[in-house]
Structure 1
Amino acid sequence: MMQSAADEPLDGISATRQYVDRMVTGDGRCHGMKVLLLDSTTTQILSCVSTQSEILSREVYLVTRIDDPRRRGGSSSNGGAAGGGHSLALREEESTGHLKAVCFLRPTETNIGLLVKELASPRYSEYHIYFSGILSQSLLTLLAESDPTERVKQVQEFYADFLPINPDCLSLNCRNTLPMSYHSTSGEYAALYERNLMGLQSMLLAMKRQPAQIRYQKSSRMARKLALDVSESIKADQIFHFRRGTGSSNSSGSFMLLVLDRMDDPVTPLLSQWTYQAMVHELLGLNNSRVILRGVPNVSKDLEEVVLSSAPGQDAFFQTHRNSNFGELGEAIQKLLQDYQAKSQNTSNLQSIEDMQQFMEKYPELRSQSHAVSKHVAIMGELARLVEVCSLMDVSAFEQDLACADDQAGHLKQLMSNLDSATVKIPDKLRLGMLYALRYETAATSAIPAVKEAMRRGGVPPDGVALVDAILKYAGAKIRGPGLYGTNKDAASKFMKSFMTSVQGVSNVYSQHSPVLMETVENATRGKLSGVTHPMLVSGGRSSSNVEGMPLSQELLIFMVGGITYEESTKINEFNQANVGKIRIILGGSTIHNSTSYLEELKLMISCR
């Protein structure tokens, strides 16, 4: 059935929450107590937009995993689905026959197999099944033939096959995709490629957008293949053809899909970060909206695992300050603490029954605020400790200079000093060596062999030193596009950037770098994106470098094979904030990298032929 695109916001969290709201009510056809059956991926998706307590308040008696082996033994337990609620469990002797099952699953052969087993010996009175992506006809037929008791009441596709991290930042949480650029999409990489294709299809369907233009990064054969396969699926399947109401922002046909590859910018994932969400991910790890503080000095037991979510109603402070820099964040947390202290002091003097009643009315809010204050204070304290212990301010200043300035002799001298230093940590020495190699790979007097030897003396292990060659193999000057070090900019623009950096002073030292993505965005939204570096797909699967006369894009979905970073997400959010009502961009990627995950995937490049 053709769907309507009228008045649909370009917002990943909003789109997914709408699907979740419809699922837990069965689109009005699933009243009463129910069980929510998820798989490993849809558990993560649900966690990004809802707390477990929210789900349980919607007549959901139990949230569990369809692949939980304990279910097959007759017992069910909570699968930890949408974090933040209380754990529930059904005892073996409890009857579940009166409950209805709402299944939210990826459309995979494995999940269909689990459903077939479930329906062969059904535990619930009804099954309302929702798939997060496009279900093939063969799997649908198999499912239909496996329902002898006719317990399945509906099967629908709800396109939420991605993690909505922020309203304008989407991830597939799909790791080990960097080597796809060097392999065909058969064999061990076929499943990874299929996951990226299905995820990108789902993003388009969730946003209810049909691209007027599909463009891709010419330097990447993987970007071209993905763009081509998405284009073919749009032509072949009516579900991509949306009705456009009068209120649709897409009615002008100004929506562009732009497929990029991480290889064009190998530098951004190697840099230290200084905004809240990005710092947490880099220094502590931010996975499925969770931060593990276990083992952090002086952290209480109830703060060993905390949630940082951008979903509405979950963490107002984080939503407001996730892109605040380190200095702004410290001031904001200090104000948060002062506000809480003021409110708690106002409740300390309880002299009448009315005072007590008012206190009890405010108590849940105060208790929630107390946890929020404690959480953010604990995270900020650990970030500050790690910045000092790892000498990150000095390291980051040098990283930024390596990324933004051209001074081979000066950089080499400073690099050698850092590699010999006992205060610079081994992971930071590795990143600095790789940043130097990327910038000066083509220099006439290359010092890369000497740098690698200094890295060894400085304690970098052999597999770390080997990553210097791996990153040049993955994204060296002969592989990537031309934009990384401004080779496609004229001398005047380079001078102006250098001049602005110097006059803005040291406060800008840690934020000089701008990802290659942002130059691409600026050009795309001004109609100046070159068809030579980013061709457009035209009829018959052909590519064209002639993009003159195409309408300016007011909406863009940018998908980056190989993963994105929170620095890029922050820059996209800043761009959206500066262009409210004019241009809207959604950034998606295979995963969201910090330097650790990026280096782990680069290690796979060592074995690539």
Structure 2
Amino acid sequence: MNVYHLARSVLDELCAATDGLNVMLVDEDTLPLVSMVYGWRTRQLSDKEVFSVDKLASLREPMPEVNATVFVRASHGNILSLQQELSQPNYRSYAIFFTNEVDATDLELLAEADTRELVAQIKVVNLDYLPMDTNLFSLETLGAFNHPEQLTRNMLSRCRDGLLSVIRGLGLHPTLRYQGNSGQCQQLAEALKPHLLQATEGDTMLLLLDRRQDLVTPSIQQWTYQAMMHELYGLSCGRLDLTRAQAELKEVEEPAVMTSFADEFFGRARFTKFPQNYLSIMELEKVVTKRFFRTPESNYFDFQSHAQERFEKIQTALRERRYEPRDLLRIFMQVAIRYPDKAGCAEYVRLQEAFLNAGLSPLDLQCVDRAAELSRPSAPASSKDWESYILRSTFPNADPDDEEEDSHTPLLAGLLQELDKGSLNEKKYPWVPGLLGQKRYAQILFSRRPLAHLMARFAHLDHAV
């Protein structure tokens, strides 16, 4: 079960749907999907006689001798754009492919607009996700925590439709479990259940998790090659943004493709420690060296020390080193999570002042406080448990050159180990009734954020997002 190969085979089928020269019409969601699958290289599409990829909603010149392949989500806006396109056609024929289910009423609207009978076929292809790796996909959803207790209607439908496209595309019949203390996970589980096969035995288990249960891990700097490339430059939809490096690298012309299926070196090196790889990339060495070792303290402020000693240590580090804003935010996130009860805490107030003096804005502090508050419903309940949680999740002696396993172990790692052993607590992670199976499962893990940093340790899991 390979989500990249599935996406590639579906898109190859789309490109071959009509004979002769083709234009592919996409939307904001499917454009990055097409680009990622073909490695952001237009040559691979031109070899399939697709000479242009345009947005459906854009203005285009009529090409009556060319066929059009439409690949879009079945959103209200796209249906309106298709109606307009079919009523005033720019191409000889249309093959329309939707990423997910489409309402019968929308199909009727398209049929009414197609007065010249130019639509050759309409098909649902169940491809409503981005294949980040062979066993990692993303729905690229933002804003899920704007309403922390419940997902908005649009967010709920996006998560549901994206997961169903993976399940249907791979031909799976999953059972379903979710994080019991998360209202969002329960809401999504209830939305998925009517669409899943009612069976007593399934071949897959889908586990829904709430990312808020561990805010420490995102605030800690990872040392793998993939993570450091993201830290140094930025990775988005399989492209490395070298904008920051242009001052140092005179010949940078466009973002580099960096996916395991388009870059052989990246595929081999992405989960290994960065220092083991960066010397072999000589053109990046100068920029990397300037930035790489600037913020080691952001990983390991020692929370086991006395309060006054801890405060002085952090204050000294902030005074002696010049941090970039995002690194200050990372450090303050670890500090804020350390104080679940901030009201009336003099030490926390002093730390806030220290970070303000170091360069954070009042809005930055408010955002971090808000993020820490959002984590509380899914965090350990008692102060003692919370203290233990932080001490387990923060490592005081990180060494980027150490070839041993990182001493930081995300909470998610323990959950996955329990899941693989079949010992995951059924009260904390209940089954959805009616979909309960009786055998060992392949696993699909769904969280609010991509989990790429864990995939090296849990390569036996089939899929994660």
TM-score computed with the length of structure 1 as normaliser: 0.69
**Separation in 1, partners of 2:386, 2:327:** 29
The one-letter amino acid of 2:259's match is S
Q: Does the 8 A contact of 2:201 with 2:438 survive in 1?
A: no
Structure label with greater radius of gyration: 1
**Are residues 1:24 and 2:15 paired?**
yes
**Are residues 1:559 and 2:446 paired?**
yes
Aligned identity (percent) is 24
**Separation in 1, partners of 2:399, 2:357:** 37
**Which residues in structure 2 correspond to 1:318-397 (within 5 Å)?**
318-331=266-279, 333=280, 376-388=281-293, 391-396=294-299
Deviations 1:136-194 (A, max 9, x none): 22212211222111111111111111110111111112222222324x44xxx332332
State the Cα distance separating 1:268 from its structure 2 match: 1.4
State the Cα distance separating 1:422 from its structure 2 match: 4.0
Deviations 1:528-587 (A, max 9, x none): 111121111103x9xxxxx9x95333x1111113x23xxx323223321xxxxxx43311
Q: Does the 8 A contact of 1:217 with 1:259 survive in 2?
A: yes
**Which residues in structure 2 correspond to 1:117-516 (within 5 Å)?**
117-182=84-149, 184-185=150-151, 189-211=152-174, 213-235=175-197, 253-296=202-245, 297-311=247-261, 314-331=262-279, 333=280, 376-388=281-293, 391-396=294-299, 398=300, 406-409=304-307, 410-441=309-340, 447-476=347-376, 479-482=377-380, 487=385, 507=402, 511-516=406-411
Give the equivalent residue in structure 2 for 1:65.
Answer: 55
The one-letter amino acid of 2:184's match is M
Give the equivalent residue in structure 1 for 2:452.
Answer: 569
Q: Does the 8 A contact of 2:33 with 2:130 survive in 1?
A: yes
The 4+ residue runs of structure 1 with deviation greater than 6 A are 443-446, 483-486, 488-491, 500-506
User: 1:276–1:504: structure 2 CA closer, same or farther, 3 Å change rule?
Assistant: closer
The one-letter amino acid of 1:551's match is K
**Separation in 1, partners of 2:183, 2:47:** 47
State the Cα distance separating 1:252 from its structure 2 match: 7.3
The one-letter amino acid of 2:85's match is E
Give the equivalent residue in structure 1 for 2:37.
Answer: 49
User: 1:510–1:452: structure 2 CA closer, same or farther, 3 Å change rule?
Assistant: farther
**Separation in 1, partners of 2:204, 2:348:** 44
**Are residues 1:537 and 2:445 paired?**
no
The one-letter amino acid of 2:250's match is S
**Separation in 1, partners of 2:397, 2:229:** 29
SS at match of 1:573: coil
**Separation in 2, partners of 1:263, 1:54:** 40
The one-letter amino acid of 2:155's match is L
State the Cα distance separating 1:195 from its structure 2 match: 1.6
Q: Does the 8 A contact of 1:107 with 1:132 survive in 2?
A: yes
User: 1:431–1:408: structure 2 CA closer, same or farther, 3 Å change rule?
Assistant: farther
**Separation in 1, partners of 2:235, 2:69:** 29
Give the equivalent residue in structure 2 for 1:585.
Answer: 462
Moved more, 50-59 or 192-201: 192-201
Q: Does the 8 A contact of 1:439 with 1:485 survive in 2?
A: no
User: 1:266–1:488: structure 2 CA closer, same or farther, 3 Å change rule?
Assistant: closer
Q: Does the 8 A contact of 2:233 with 2:243 survive in 1?
A: no
Q: Which structure has the highest helix share of the two?
A: 1
**Separation in 2, partners of 1:149, 1:516:** 58
TM-score computed with the length of structure 2 as normaliser: 0.89
> RMSD value over aligned CA atoms?
3.3
Q: Aligned pairs, how many?
A: 459
State the Cα distance separating 1:198 from its structure 2 match: 1.4
**Separation in 2, partners of 1:506, 1:484:** 36
Q: Does the 8 A contact of 2:72 with 2:97 survive in 1?
A: yes
State the Cα distance separating 1:510 from its structure 2 match: 8.8
